[in-house]
Amino acid sequence: MSPGELKEYLAAQERKSFLRFLTCGSVDDGKSTLIGRLLYDTKLIFEDQLKTLEKDSKKHGTTGDDIDFALLLDGLESEREQGITIDVAYRFFSTSKRKFIVADTPGHEQYTRNMATGASTADLAVILVDARKGVLTQTRRHAFICSLLRIRHVILAINKIDLAHYSQDIFESIDHEFRDFADKLGFASIVSIPLSARFGDNVINQSLSMPWYSGPTLLAHLESIDVSTDLEAMSFRMPVQWVNRPNLDFRGFAGTIASGRIAPGDRVVVANSGRLSTVARIVTQNGDLREAGAGDAVTLTLDDEVDVSRGDMLAAAGERPDVSDQFAAHIIWMSEEELLPGRQYLIKIGARSVPATITELKHKIDVNSLEHFAAKTLQLNEVGYCNLSASVPIAFDRYASNRHTGSFIVIDRFTNGTVGAGMIEFGLRRATNVHWQALDINKQVRASQKGQKPVMLWFTGLSGSGKSTIANIVEKKLNLSGRHTYLLDGDNVRHGLNRDLGFTDADRVENIRRVAETAKLFVDAGLIVLVSFISPFRSERRTARELVQQGEFLEVYVDTPLEVCMSRDPKGLYKRAQAGEIKNFTGLDSPYEPPEAAEIHVNTVDLSPEAAADAIIEKLRAENLIA
């Protein structure tokens, strides 16, 4: 091939359209086999790969003397040994008409989160159904998640039709059942294809065994379907990933354009602040551009000095996105640990991570019937519709309008692991109607009037550890020295403010959230507030700490071994819990997470309540919180 021919060939490859699709469905529907067959029949397997595949087929395969095409995708040894797909496998391939990236996703319910990951960037879904089994629960689950993630086009691949005697009646029955279910999901197109991944029927070539089928083959439809969303025609959006400041003379904002187009001279707005500016240059490693569009990674410089940081979003001046600290969203839960409303998580949208709380789980969704059910928590792989409250306003679009700027992930603040994926429906109107009211009398004035420094003393420990007894003594000692105090006790608060709450993990989280917000008000009033609650979870204690300023929160760990608490059992609660009369009892059938770095640590095995109280008073003096 001459240099000219090579240049023309590369240019032709660049001009090809691009399609991202995934395969999904229930277990053993043949997803990996189908992709392997597609790669094999399009002659995209190298000779050495074919030899390895033939060797592996004899060792791990499930197709007798035939090639097991699934092994091309199932790369993990555990996948090959079990004959299942566990993780998402991505493959690139190209035909004369189009370039493709295909994601092979797991079929097992426990790996639904992996499937959702693969679906998040796909334009089309190939949903496989075993012709012998028909539409199963996992088929419906995957179809629903595809719809939720705004995949608009579906191919229903009715596989293993050879094992159903190439029956037209079976094909049509499955097709009708799926369409009846999917009619509620709003797909733009559904094309049903009867095929055999193992033998290649209707994968690339039309099957001679099904003269009754006159539709396209799988590859023909993949090559011809129009899935363009025309991102460049949408409003300009660019999340700022990095502020590029190599020297004093250059300040640029780097990121990948999520949608729209931009050119020097265009007016842009910093979404959160509303500050307007004009694009001066579009800088790339290969020189400045006259124009850039969706998918381009660029650095923009602006005509004037505006405050832009990592995580901000630049948008078209006349088409600013929504900005709110509260919004409604669908969430796919991806963690073994249940979602707990009231607990603080991190959400990452674009390049910005902010603390946020699921304030209300409005309902969860049954994937079989699409009905909505009341729920207090979400378990692994469940889908719920929630209200969220972020610590600061964030910029976003509705997910239905822009998948790139309307999606987020939920992160556990302690493990830093991704526990959920969210799709924003809309900002909550009340978020823009409620503003802080300026008050002339503030915390400093109130505390100064009382001649003290406000502080939150947070007593935590197992039931029977002596928290309330010690907190009561500490308050009396402070009161005698002229300090202004208030004691919030776990039992007392449950007679009023929290009388509607039970003792599930979700209720415990909400219990502490309300108490922490109340205690914050007492600190704002200039008081020394003592909070005596089991508060079993570190996450909620951390949230309480972050409600007040640094130095205004002291965690008091009343450390008493479980067996000592059980022997004391002042209220007879342990005895009742062991008899099964009390469920979700902390320390027995509900966990307690002890503090890792409490400011004050008292052991009531070694110290009497009076001595423990004296130790706490001394610590307050040492911290200059009291004289």
Please determine, for residue 64, whether its predicted confidence score (pLDDT) is greater than 60.
no
| 581 Cβ contact list (under 8 Å, min separation 6) | none
Please determine, for residue 81, whether its predicted confidence score (pLDDT) is greater than 50.
no
Q: Which residues of 549-583 are buried (b: 16+ CB within 10 A; e: fewer)?
A: eeebbbbbbbbbebeebbeeeeeebbeebeeeebe
Question: Are residues 395 and 298 part of one domain?
Answer: no
Q: What pLDDT was estimated at residue 502?
A: 86
Catalytic residue among 147, 207, 463, 535: 535
**Is residue 471 assigned to a domain?**
yes
Q: Which residues of 361-381 are buried (b: 16+ CB within 10 A; e: fewer)?
A: beebbebeeeeeeebbbbebb
Question: Are residues 480 and 563 part of one domain?
Answer: yes
For residues 504-519, give the mean pLDDT: 91
For 370-415, the pLDDT digits (tens) are: 899 999 999 988 999 999 999 899 999 999 899 999 999 999 988 8
Please determine, for residue 3, whether its predicted confidence score (pLDDT) is greater than 90.
no
Please determine, for residue 82, whether its predicted confidence score (pLDDT) is greater than 80.
no
Q: What pLDDT was estimated at residue 377?
A: 93
Please determine, for residue 506, whether its predicted confidence score (pLDDT) is greater than 90.
no
Q: How far apart are CA 598 and CA 537, in angstroms?
A: 14
Residue with token string 């998948």: 403
- pLDDT above 90 as % of the chain: 57
Question: Are residues 163 and 35 part of one domain?
Answer: yes
**Is residue 244 assigned to a domain?**
yes
Tell me which residue range forms the domain holding 308. 231-316
Question: Are residues 270 and 337 part of one domain?
Answer: no
Please determine, for residue 524, whether its predicted confidence score (pLDDT) is greater than 80.
yes
Task: Write the single-letter amino acid at 600.
Answer: I
Question: Are residues 173 and 47 part of one domain?
Answer: yes
Question: Are residues 187 and 57 part of one domain?
Answer: yes
**Is residue 218 assigned to a domain?**
yes
Question: Could you tell me if 24 and 142 are in contact, meaning their C-beta atoms sit under 8 angstroms apart?
Answer: yes
Question: Are residues 218 and 155 part of one domain?
Answer: yes
Question: Are residues 358 and 489 part of one domain?
Answer: no
Helical axes 137-148 vs 112-119, angle rounded to 10°? 40
For 591-624, the pLDDT digits (tens) are: 899 999 999 999 999 899 999 999 999 999 998 8
Question: Are residues 150 and 219 part of one domain?
Answer: yes
For 91-123, the pLDDT digits (tens) are: 888 888 888 888 887 766 666 777 888 888 889
Backbone angles phi, psi at 84, to 5 degrees: -130, 160
For 533-586, the pLDDT digits (tens) are: 999 999 899 999 999 999 999 999 999 999 999 999 888 889 998 888 888 888
Question: Are residues 159 and 70 part of one domain?
Answer: yes
Question: Could you tell me if 426 and 398 are in contact, meaning their C-beta atoms sit under 8 angstroms apart?
Answer: yes
Q: What pLDDT was estimated at residue 341?
A: 92
**Is residue 2 assigned to a domain?**
no
User: C-alpha angle with apex 522: 520 to 526, nearest 5 degrees?
Assistant: 110
DSSP-derived secondary structure letter, 231? G
336 token code pair: 């073994």
- What mean pLDDT is reported for the chain? 87
536 token code pair: 């079993």
CATH of the domain at 273: 2.40.30.10
Please determine, for residue 71, whether its predicted confidence score (pLDDT) is greater than 70.
no
**Is residue 8 assigned to a domain?**
no
For 456-484, the pLDDT digits (tens) are: 999 999 999 999 999 999 999 999 999 99
Q: Which residues of 447-471 are buried (b: 16+ CB within 10 A; e: fewer)?
A: beeeebbbbbbbbbbbbbbbbbbbb
Q: What pLDDT was estimated at residue 83?
A: 43
Q: How far apart are CA 87 and CA 117, in angstroms?
A: 10
pLDDT bin (cut points 50, 70, 90) of residue 330 is very high
Report how many domains make up the chain: 4
**Is residue 346 assigned to a domain?**
yes
**Is residue 587 assigned to a domain?**
yes
Last residue of a domain, one of 224, 241, 263: 224
Last residue of a domain, one of 224, 258, 274: 224
Q: What is the 3-state secondary structure (H, E, C) of 453-489?
A: CCEEEEEECCCCCCHHHHHHHHHHHHHHCCCCEEEEE
Q: What pLDDT was estimated at residue 78?
A: 41
Question: Are residues 289 and 192 part of one domain?
Answer: no
Last residue of a domain, one of 267, 300, 316: 316
Active site residue 535: yes
Q: How far apart are CA 335 and CA 409, in angstroms?
A: 12
**Is residue 183 assigned to a domain?**
yes
Q: What is the DSSP string of 192-228?
A: EEE-BTTTTBTTTB--TT-TT--S--HHHHHHH----
Helix/strand/coil for 542: helix
Question: Are residues 477 and 618 part of one domain?
Answer: yes
For 252-262, the pLDDT digits (tens) are: 999 999 999 99
* Residue from 553, 515, 539 nearest 593 by CA: 539
Q: Which residues of 262-276 are buried (b: 16+ CB within 10 A; e: fewer)?
A: bebebebbbbbeeee
* H or E segment and range at residue 596: none
Helix, strand, coil percentages, rounded to 5, for the chain: 30, 30, 40
CATH of the domain at 42: 3.40.50.300
Helix/strand/coil for 492: helix
